[in-house]
Structure 1
């Protein structure tokens, strides 16, 4: 996808959706899952991902658990109860937005 700005506004929703589906994930795992799910169309950079994760954590939507894996510390992100509720709200909001854009891009003929 040539225009990264198109998905930038949806990054929070993407993160919340992935974490709502699974138990917990670490940053690189999130980037790879998105890349796989979109057949490489969406590539989330670390520069975009980590500030979004930190903001979600600061907003009380994520809990962070640090584990030692292969002699390295890895941060796992998991939704809080508030995060679970927000993921539902954000998905509904995004679905309405997509429907609205579809109405502009591909309008249905009026019945009048």
Structure 2
């Protein structure tokens, strides 16, 4: 992944995590990283070093709770949205969609203006 994609990913990581959890119900860290990679065809990769601080921050903010479950003799920590987390996920997604719309307005050529002028 190029550095520009990495920069955009950092700025939207909370929104991405909240959206995935809103869609999936509960996920563990590795599962989140794999979902990002699979859904983007490998264009975006999410490292554990970037993911876990965000998960901990969202938990501190009361947007996530954790559940531990034993899987193959090891404890696996699952993350789930709280009610406030679900509401925040919807709001952040709306905010992001609005931002993308505004960016398209800014980067699209103005009507009747030739590119390169």
Distance 1:40 1:94 in 2: 22
Matched, 1:49 2:62: no
Distance 1:79 1:54 in 2: 13
TM-score (norm 2): 0.90
* Alignment coverage as a number of residue pairs: 110
* Aligned residue in 2 for 1:75: 77
Unaligned runs of 5+ in 2: 113-117
TM-score (norm 1): 0.94
Unaligned runs of 5+ in 1: none
Alignment of 1:1-112 (within 5 A): 1-2=1-2, 3=4, 4-109=6-111
Distance 1:73 1:9 in 2: 30
Larger radius of gyration: 2
* Aligned residue in 1 for 2:115: none
Report runs of 4+ in structure 1 exceeding 2 Å deviation: none
